Structure 1
Amino acid sequence: MDPKYPRSADLILLPGARTGRDPARSIKPGPRRQPAGVVAATQRERLLDGLVRTVAERGYQRATVSDICRAAGVTRPVFYELFSGKEDAFLAAHRHGTGVVIRRMAAAFAAESDWCAGIREALGAMLQLLAGTPSFATMAVIEIEAVGPAGRRERDQLLTRFRAFFAEVPQLPGGVGVQEMVDAVVGGVYSAVYRRIASGRTDQLTELLPVLSMFCLAPFLGPAEADRRLGSRTGEDPSCTRIDPATTGQ
């Protein structure tokens, strides 16, 4: 595993990374029971893990609240204390998990000195996280469509957050709209990730890094320059240097 994208205990795990019935999160009854807030938070985490694994295995439409509760080791009354229903729980798991992914991508992006390397490292962080938690990848990327309009809105919001990584791309020649190009690139990345997961090759997602990196950079730099930047990470290049908002008055 690349040490640049650690999965150590001090990092927040994606929903589905643990079983809902993980013994380490068992709730002890009796007078030494944990505070109510801690108990509720633990039950919520277990339900999100149970939901992700159940939806990945059975599909959103076939998964029931009873299935989710059974996978989490949590009762139905407790489920309905925390969520209004299956859709509410699904969206909570999706928001939490994609928030983890975006934050890890942002950290990898910020660690680089130019946007070319930053985009590549952000992609690498995303691919490794999804490859390492296949149940979440299936739930979040494949099953989100089955949720209906609310799921599609969540996906659109996620793609909007992904577009932020392209805020520093150079202008395109010939009057080609940058935002339209970014939309096309972001949609293409999502489609490639979707196809890999849908075909049962989630564990091979990291193999997409070279092609997705080229796909993200080539429209803005040209294929030859993108290849040069991806092949050599040393030195600075004006076409890829970060823009400091403090120097532009933004």
Structure 2
Amino acid sequence: MNRDALQGAEALLLPGARTGRDPARSIKRGPSRLPPGVVAATQRERLLDGLVHTVAQHGYQHATVSDICRAAGVTRPVFYELFSGKEDAFLAAHRYGTGVVMRRMAAAFAAAPDWCTGIREALRALLGLLAGVPAFATMAVIEIEAVGPAGRHEITQLLSRFRAFFAEVPESPGGVEGEVLVDAVVGGVYRTLHRAVDAGRTEQLPDLLPALSLFCLAPFLGPAEAVRRLSASPQPGDGASEMPVSDPSCTRIDPPDTGQ
């Protein structure tokens, strides 16, 4: 992974990582010296941040456009210049935020020396991001279900993109169809995250890393071998050597195409 690309992925912020009324993004009244495009982009960012915090606090059903605008410090006319309504703004925040998550996961995956380590490091990135911005985790994992058919479609599309991390997994045992097994694993990880966030344990999500790493590898390697691989794979900054690529169960693979 190119160092600049990795640093660029790490620089991306989730919606809700800042408050909508962040003074650093304030736009002074009167004639603006900023280009209109910059003003619109700043207002859009503030609205997405405001929406995430508002939805996390009140729930999607009870959040209003006025609440979102108040949290962002942006007027209703400006809101409707940028979005057709609350659902449109919510989906924009969800798509942008999950795009940030996927890019950060893909960067962590690609920087790892082998597939086993890559899966663990991608999960580490996912759990750390959500734990660091609990409002986004609530909005994206829990409140997305309140949006209705459009929300369910977003969840389906998002989970399908996680298949990219399993594009070159070892052959699944027992003749089980690989795609079915991958979808079961991805769905299990998602439901585990959902349960933790819904129970108010978002900040403890990184504690799930060992269990989720094992859960993702065991169906393809077997439980005992998965434990051995995870124990042997290098941890960030420990200076451990790369796992031999001649081992077919955890070979080095290309960065996943997550649709970003």
Aligned partner (choices 239, 245, 249) of residue 239 of structure 1:
249
Residues 56, 138 of structure 1: 8 Å contact kept: yes
The structure showing larger relative contact order (alpha-carbon pairs under 8 Å, at least 6 residues apart) is: 2
Q: Quote the offset at 1:92 in angstroms.
A: 0.1
The residue type equivalent to 1:97 in the other structure is G
**Distance in 1 between residues matched to 2:9 and 2:111, nearest whole Å:** 21
Task: Mark the CA change 1:20 to 1:244 in structure 2 (over 3 Å): closer, same or farther.
Answer: closer
CA deviations 1:140-185 (Å, max 9, x no partner) are 0000000000011111111011111011111123311111110110
**Distance in 1 between residues matched to 2:94 and 2:43, nearest whole Å:** 17
CA deviations 1:173-203 (Å, max 9, x no partner) are 3311111110110000000000010000100
Task: Mark the CA change 1:7 to 1:204 in structure 2 (over 3 Å): closer, same or farther.
Answer: farther
Q: Quote the offset at 1:12 in angstroms.
A: 1.5
**Distance in 2 between residues matched to 1:199 and 1:117, nearest whole Å:** 29
State yes or no: 1:33 paired with 2:33: yes
The residue type equivalent to 1:62 in the other structure is H
**Distance in 2 between residues matched to 1:160 and 1:8, nearest whole Å:** 24
The residue type equivalent to 2:36 in the other structure is A
Matches within 5 A, 1:42-61: 42-61=42-61
Residues 115, 251 of structure 2: 8 Å contact kept: yes
Find the counterpart in structure 1 of residue 193 from structure 2: 193
TM-score, scaled relative to structure 1: 0.92
The residue type equivalent to 2:175 in the other structure is G
- Identity percentage of aligned residues: 77
Q: Which moved more, 1:34-43 or 1:165-174?
A: 165-174
Q: Quote the offset at 1:238 in angstroms.
A: 2.2
Root mean square deviation of aligned Cα = 1.8
**Structure 1 unaligned blocks of 5 or more:** 1-5, 246-250
**Distance in 2 between residues matched to 1:212 and 1:130, nearest whole Å:** 15
Find the counterpart in structure 1 of residue 120 from structure 2: 120
**Distance in 1 between residues matched to 2:149 and 2:95, nearest whole Å:** 15
Task: Mark the CA change 1:9 to 1:178 in structure 2 (over 3 Å): closer, same or farther.
Answer: closer
Find the counterpart in structure 2 of residue 3 from structure 1: none
- Count how many residue pairs are aligned between Structure 1 and Structure 2: 240
Task: Mark the CA change 1:89 to 1:101 in structure 2 (over 3 Å): closer, same or farther.
Answer: same
**Distance in 1 between residues matched to 2:7 and 2:202, nearest whole Å:** 17
Task: Mark the CA change 1:115 to 1:99 in structure 2 (over 3 Å): closer, same or farther.
Answer: same
Q: Tell me the secondary structure at the aligned position of residue 249 of structure 2.
A: coil
State yes or no: 1:148 paired with 2:148: yes
Task: Mark the CA change 1:228 to 1:10 in structure 2 (over 3 Å): closer, same or farther.
Answer: closer
Residues 10, 104 of structure 2: 8 Å contact kept: no
Q: Tell me the secondary structure at the aligned position of residue 197 of structure 2.
A: helix
Residues 110, 254 of structure 2: 8 Å contact kept: no
Task: Mark the CA change 1:175 to 1:9 in structure 2 (over 3 Å): closer, same or farther.
Answer: closer
Matches within 5 A, 1:83-232: 83-232=83-232
Residues 19, 72 of structure 2: 8 Å contact kept: yes
Q: Quote the offset at 1:30 in angstroms.
A: 3.2
Task: Mark the CA change 1:175 to 1:196 in structure 2 (over 3 Å): closer, same or farther.
Answer: same
Residues 27, 33 of structure 1: 8 Å contact kept: no
CA deviations 1:44-82 (Å, max 9, x no partner) are 000000000000000000000000000000000000000
CA deviations 1:214-248 (Å, max 9, x no partner) are 00000000011100000011532321103569xxx
Find the counterpart in structure 2 of residue 248 from structure 1: none
**Distance in 2 between residues matched to 1:161 and 1:22, nearest whole Å:** 32
Q: Which moved more, 1:132-141 or 1:8-17?
A: 8-17
Find the counterpart in structure 1 of residue 14 from structure 2: 14
Q: Tell me the secondary structure at the aligned position of residue 67 of structure 1.
A: helix
Q: Quote the offset at 1:113 in angstroms.
A: 2.0
The residue type equivalent to 1:89 in the other structure is A
